[in-house]
Chain A
């Protein structure tokens, strides 16, 4: 826990109080939402670790605050889970000769997470146009047909998506 070392003492005390007063409540709430004790425990840990790392020191209405932070962490986590589920389902549907090796499968998943994060804040149609072009290999005209928008609009979408990806790629 490197956060513990670097956190100022008063903040440490505040977060400690927050933890002892509310971690049981947060755990119960997450467990209800997820239906899984282990995932809930992980997310509670993440929530407090993130608050500790953030230098926030005062908490009015701590439960409302915790609720909101945990909500964001849960959303992030659900996104990764949803990607992994969809990926595994797609792998399972592949004919045997096309299934990649375990190592390739792992690398693919990592790249998928990266691309998913880059595209995350794009509007749904922009994201879809970009995927159809760059993953599906479709021409802009065909994408315009499929999405029911003009060719100019598809080009605008593509530029928006490329600029965002170029800003984030590393």
Chain B
């Protein structure tokens, strides 16, 4: 809102030119000719002078920020749901109900989600029917109970569900839905994770029926206790065995049993902000052990003590590269 007004008062040409000057002045060796050219440019109109004052103000603000705390604070994932909500807020308060009716179609989902947790956190919930849900790092769910079903919509991340008997008779099915499809609990404890267009299911007790959104005709897949499977919107993978590492996160642990280092690092990165990578040269190093998820820095240090790897840390831990020692 305000930015378009300001661009008009200064002139977007002058701002663009100032931006280009900032970029060319960022080299280490700025020549005297460049400095003279800049002085000529900024003296050539009041607008340019004003634009450059802003450039100097911006650089002094940026220059006052130490990388060690600023990088982790500013480099957070930009949640598109959140952005949309903020944009909508300005419009809603500006136009009021006049346009309101025409927007509603897209508003069915309401807020970002009913329940959520941030990166590195975990939350346990008991729903009205007694069903227990544990949300893992960076996860969000909506809960919709009605006369026909008890529905948990997994918007992102990972949950563990321990179903309770419904207090209504006849009892309503408990379902977990993801973008890829839905799962119906058949008296059970199970874990669902949504990641990059795929849903991963691990069944610990009872059984779960899986129905991908666009699955063709055919018998729906039923995964029994001790089994796991994954699916996209069309089809399911074959069922394989669950190991005890699948739900260790509920107890705040990452259990690794001869896990590839690259996979281990990718898993740990879910609980941590910033860059965490491993050198491809050591990607296949097998890693075993129990690592705390609540303190990923400690987990990385444990790794260094046990394996021939070393940590290269920059910007206050925001940037971590694992390489061979």
Interface centre among A33, A71, A112, A121 (most CB of B within 10 A): A71
Cβ-neighbour of B74 out of A53, A83, A121 (below 8 A): A83
Decide if the interface of chain B is mainly helix, strand, loop or mixed: helix
Cβ-neighbour of A71 out of B7, B85, B90, B297 (below 8 A): B85
Q: What total count of A-B pairs have CB within 8 Å?
A: 198
Interface centre among A53, A85, A167 (most CB of B within 10 A): A167
What 1/0 mask marks residues of chain A from 12 to 33 whose CB sits below 8 Å from any chain B CB? 0000000000000000000011
**A64 at the binding interface (Cβ < 8 Å):** yes
Report the bound CA distance from A83 to B72 in whole Å.
Answer: 9
Report the count of interface residues on A (CB-CB < 8 A): 73
Q: Closest chain A residue to B72 by CB distance? A: A90
| Chain A residues with CB under 8 A of B88 | 68, 71-72
| Chain A residues with CB under 8 A of B123 | 35
**A108 at the binding interface (Cβ < 8 Å):** yes
Contacts A33-B114, A90-B318, A166-B58 given; does A83 touch B73 at CB 8 Å: yes
Q: Write the nearest CB–CB distance from B300 to chain A, whole angstroms.
A: 12
What 1/0 mask marks residues of chain B from 83 to 117 whose CB sits below 8 Å from any chain A CB? 10110111011101100110010010011111110
| Chain A residues with CB under 8 A of B73 | 83, 86-87, 90, 112, 116
Report the count of interface residues on B (CB-CB < 8 A): 71
| Chain B residues with CB under 8 A of A56 | 93, 96-97
Decide if the interface of chain A is mainly helix, strand, loop or mixed: helix
Choose the segment among B59-67, B248-256, B261-269 that binds chain A (4+ C-beta atoms closer than 8 Å): B59-67
- B-side residues, CB < 8 A to A, are 2-3, 6-7, 10, 12, 15-16, 18-20, 22-23, 26, 51, 54-55, 57-58, 61-62, 64-78, 81-83, 85-86, 88-90, 92-94, 96-97, 100-101, 104, 107, 110-116, 118, 123, 273, 275, 297, 314-319
Nearest 4 pairs of A and B residues by beta carbon = A72-B89, A56-B96, A162-B19, A75-B85
Cross-chain pairs A/B with CB under 8 angstroms, 30 sampled: A32-B114, A51-B93, A54-B93, A60-B101, A69-B93, A72-B86, A73-B89, A75-B81, A75-B82, A75-B86, A75-B89, A78-B112, A79-B82, A86-B73, A86-B273, A90-B68, A90-B69, A98-B68, A121-B83, A123-B78, A135-B65, A135-B315, A136-B67, A136-B319, A159-B20, A163-B16, A167-B3, A167-B6, A167-B7, A168-B2
